[in-house]
């Protein structure tokens, strides 16, 4: 896909940064640190993270054009830095030349945009709604008048939905405010269950579809539909037998499709039925000149598509050890767009990690070539179920038995529940049975960069390192934790702490540099009483510090 003009300008700017070597270094290095650490700078991180979190990429949802643009960006960066392509999709069909891309298949349920719309009082809307399709996925083309059902209490539902009537039901929602993430999810699931129950009753009474209104675009239900429903801009995706978020709603479909409206369309629908809203109460509008006519068209299609990992390698300098590799990884994807059209920018999750991945790649390319090979892996599908890293681990483009370590970076730019401005969480921590010599080594280097460590063990199974860990490969995962903007449209680049990102990215590079140069492979060392082990154990694991 050809890049747009803004994409080309952004890419050009970053390629200039990538070629600047260490010229922008502003801070002195800790004692014993590799010189290439200086190439990781706040200025470049800001440029790169700003691009990944830009409106242009539309939330980078897996398999969408925005994800493809983001992945092309990474591939071009790696090429400019001198990495070799390590994908499995040919760059040139005629020559068979290798590309940086690893394509992997997804199946999708998506809105047929030519046959899906909502018309209210003569005004047609092609967006601003989300859909949970019906059992059997039957298409709907229904004209008539909206029948207002307020909050859907059973005693207030019409006894019969006549031909030409379209039920319009309000749902009680509230702004997410500071509700914990787990509570948000369960609240959204409960509201969808209520909507399904209402739709089932109305279907029994003659409805062919049900339109639901919400007064809060940032409600738990709005976010849940973003996870588990479909919108004109965002499909449901599945990877092989893993149905991901689609599995959450398969048992919650009604006999008729459900259409959920954004706040703006809800207000239009309320006006169409002659209602005004005051807080959470409704009443007849003073103007009785209203038009309840509506036309609901819903059609979904199933198709096959591709998502993309990006993979490049910098060959090691040691004749024997170059056959072994460390993998530095970060996911490129995020949540796409909300049903009201606002973008999930995913600045912390995970523009911060993707920008850092490229900075770490630059440091390896500009610095002294390490003894082992270094693989840079940008994956998609993390938000749906760690799919991209799973696909790479199951279809590796480097012998998996020769991968000695994985360093994963996902969300490192905010003060969050697990880390302050001068902290970062890692897993496996010393309290975890899979605590590794890599994680222990990170603890030894973090203090030199002004970073304290906290336990991120609650995320041990929730990011891409896990697909390496289950194969017995030692891992370390850097993450700040969850915060008030986690998985919300308010996770924007202006809120990132670039000084913190710089330090964590430097830590990731420094750890990777030493693992790539160590005489022996890293290892899992099991639970410990603290972050640091004794010098004898350190020497036995081959994790020499400050070579």
pLDDT above 60 (res 23): no
Predicted local confidence at residue 286, as pLDDT? 55
State pLDDT tens for residues 284-311. Answer: 665 667 899 999 999 999 999 999 999 9
Per the omega criterion (within 30 degrees of 0), is the bond before 428 cis? Answer: yes
pLDDT digits (tens, 9 = 90+) for 351-387: 999 999 999 999 999 999 999 999 999 999 999 999 9
Least confident range from 222-231, 285-294, 516-525: namely 285-294
**Residues pairing with 211 in the sheet:** 168, 259
Of residues 173 and 51, more confidence is placed in 51
Q: Report which of 202, 191, 89 is spatially closest to residue 146, judged by C-alpha positions.
A: 202
Q: Residue 203 pLDDT more than 80?
A: yes
Q: How confident is the model at residue 279 (pLDDT cuts 50, 70, 90)?
A: low
Question: Can you read off the two tokens belonging to residue 284?
Answer: 């007849």
pLDDT in tens, 468-478: 999 999 999 99
Q: How confident is the model at residue 39 (pLDDT cuts 50, 70, 90)?
A: very high
Asked if residues 161 and 152 have their Cβ atoms less than 8 Å apart, the reply is no
User: What pLDDT, on the 0 to 100 scale, is given for residue 285?
Assistant: 61
Please say whether the dihedral angle defined by the alpha carbons of residues 482, 462, 388 and 512, taken in this order, is positive or negative: positive
Given a cut of 80, whether residue 432 has pLDDT beyond it is yes
Least confident of 146-150, 224-228, 233-237: 224-228
- pLDDT-derived band at 18 (thresholds 50, 70, 90) equals very low
The three-point CA angle 45-48-54 to 5° equals: 130
Q: Quick one: pLDDT band at residue 152, thresholds 50, 70, 90?
A: low
Q: How far apart are CA 172 and CA 195, in angstroms?
A: 10
State the Cα–Cα distance between residues 547 and 364, nearest whole angstrom: 15
Give me the pLDDT at residue 24, please: 41
Continuous segment of H or E residues that includes residue 12: helix 5-18
Domain ranges of the chain: 5-20+27-106+304-540, 113-298
**In 3-state terms, what secondary structure has residue 203?**
helix
Residue with tokens 């483009």: 397
> Residue 505 — very low, low, confident or very high, per pLDDT cuts 50/70/90?
very high
392-360-82 Cα angle (round to 5): 80
Dihedral sign, Cα of residue 73, residue 76, residue 80, residue 82: positive
Percent of the chain at pLDDT > 70 equals 89
Rounded CA separation 483/349 (Å): 11
In this prediction, residues 506-517 reach a mean pLDDT of 98
Task: Give the pairing of strands 140-148 and 210-213.
Answer: unpaired
Radius of gyration in angstroms for the set of CA atoms belonging to the chain, rounded to a whole number: 26
Report the C-alpha gap between 473 and 459 in whole angstroms. Answer: 17
Average pLDDT over residues 167-193: 83
Task: Give residue 536's pLDDT.
Answer: 38
Judge if pTM exceeds 0.85.
yes
Residue 546 has pLDDT above 50, yes or no: no
The more confident residue out of 188 and 14 is: 188
The string of pLDDT tens digits covering residues 447-497 is 999 999 999 999 999 999 999 999 999 999 999 999 989 999 999 999 999
Q: Looking up tokens 């973008």, which residue turns up?
A: 343
Q: From CA 457, how far away is CA 153, in angstroms rounded?
A: 43
CA distance 99 to 480: 33
Token digits of residue 51: 């691009």
CA distance 26 to 297: 58
Q: What is the pLDDT of residue 182?
A: 77
pLDDT score for 89: 75
Asked if residue 547 has pLDDT above 60, the reply is no
Identify the band that residue 7 occupies on the pLDDT scale cut at 50, 70 and 90: very low
Half-sphere exposure of 131 (CA within 13 A, CB side): 33
What does the pLDDT read at residue 248? 75
Q: Which CATH superfamily is domain 5-20+27-106+304-540 in?
A: Zn peptidases (3.40.630.10)
Note whether 5-20+27-106+304-540 and 113-298 share their fold. Answer: no
Q: To the nearest whole number, what is the mean pLDDT of the chain?
A: 89
CA-closest candidate to residue 40, choices 483, 513, 546: 513
pLDDT value for 188: 87
Assign domain 113-298 to its CATH architecture. 3-Layer(bba) Sandwich (3.50)
């Amino acid at each position: 896909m050809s890049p747009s003009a803004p994409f080309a300008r952004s890419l050009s700017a970053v390629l200039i940064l990538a070629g600047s070597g260490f010229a922008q270094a502003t801070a002195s290095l800790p004692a014993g640190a590799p010189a290439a650490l200086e190439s990781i700078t706040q200025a470049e991180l800001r440029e790169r993270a700003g691009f990944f979190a830009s409106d242009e990429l539309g939330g980078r949802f897996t398999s969408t054009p925005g994800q493809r643009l983001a992945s092309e960006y990474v591939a071009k960066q790696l090429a400019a830095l001198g990495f070799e392509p390590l994908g499995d999709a040919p760059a040139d069909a005629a020559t068979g030349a290798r590309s940086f891309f690893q394509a992997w298949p997804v199946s999708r349920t998506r809105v047929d945009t030519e046959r899906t719309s909502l018309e209210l009082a003569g005004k047609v809307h092609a967006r601003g709604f989300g859909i949970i399709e019906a059992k059997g996925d039957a298409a709907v083309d229904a004209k008539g008048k909206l029948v207002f059902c307020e909050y859907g209490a059973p005693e207030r539902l019409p006894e019969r939905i006549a031909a030409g009537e379209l039920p319009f039901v309000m749902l009680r929602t509230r702004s997410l405010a500071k509700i914990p993430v787990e509570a948000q999810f369960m609240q959204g699931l409960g509201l969808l269950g209520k909507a399904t129950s209402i739709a089932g009753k109305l279907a029994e009474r003659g409805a062919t579809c049900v339109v639901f209104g919400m007064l809060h675009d940032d409600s738990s239900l709005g976010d849940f539909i973003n996870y588990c429903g479909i919108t004109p801009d965002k499909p449901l995706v599945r990877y092989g037998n893993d149905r991901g978020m689609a599995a959450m709603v398969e048992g919650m479909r009604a006999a008729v499709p459900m259409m959920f409206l954004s706040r703006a369309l809800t207000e239009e629908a309320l006006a169409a039925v002659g209602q005004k809203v005051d807080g959470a109460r409704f009443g007849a509008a003073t103007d009785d000149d209203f038009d309840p006519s509506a036309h609901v068209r819903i059609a979904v299609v199933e198709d096959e598509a591709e998502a993309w990992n990006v993979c490049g390698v910098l060959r090691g300098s040691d004749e024997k050890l170059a056959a072994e590799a460390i993998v530095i990884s970060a996911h490129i994807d995020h949540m796409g767009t909300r049903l009201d059209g606002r973008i999930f920018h995913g600045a912390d999750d995970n523009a911060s990690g993707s920008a850092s991945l490229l900075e770490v790649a630059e440091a390896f390319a500009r610095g002294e070539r390490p003894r082992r090979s270094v693989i840079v892996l940008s994956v998609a599908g993390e938000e749906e179920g760690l799919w991209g890293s799973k696909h790479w681990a199951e279809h590796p483009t480097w012998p998996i038995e020769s991968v000695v370590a994985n360093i994963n970076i996902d969300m490192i730019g905010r003060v969050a529940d697990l880390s302050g401005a001068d902290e970062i969480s890692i897993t496996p921590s010393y309290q975890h049975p899979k605590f590794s010599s890599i994680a222990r080594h990170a603890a030894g280097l973090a203090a030199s960069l002004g970073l304290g460590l906290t336990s991120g063990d609650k995320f041990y199974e929730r990011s891409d390192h896990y697909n390496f860990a289950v194969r017995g490969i030692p891992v370390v995962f850097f993450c700040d934790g969850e915060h008030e903007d986690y998985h919300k449209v308010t996770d924007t680049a202006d809120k990132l702490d670039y000084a913190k990102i710089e330090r964590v990215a430097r830590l990731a590079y420094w750890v990777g540099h030493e693992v790539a140069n160590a005489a022996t492979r890293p290892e899992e060392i099991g639970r410990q009483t603290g972050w640091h082990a004794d010098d004898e154990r350190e020497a036995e694991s081959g994790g020499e510090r400050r070579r």
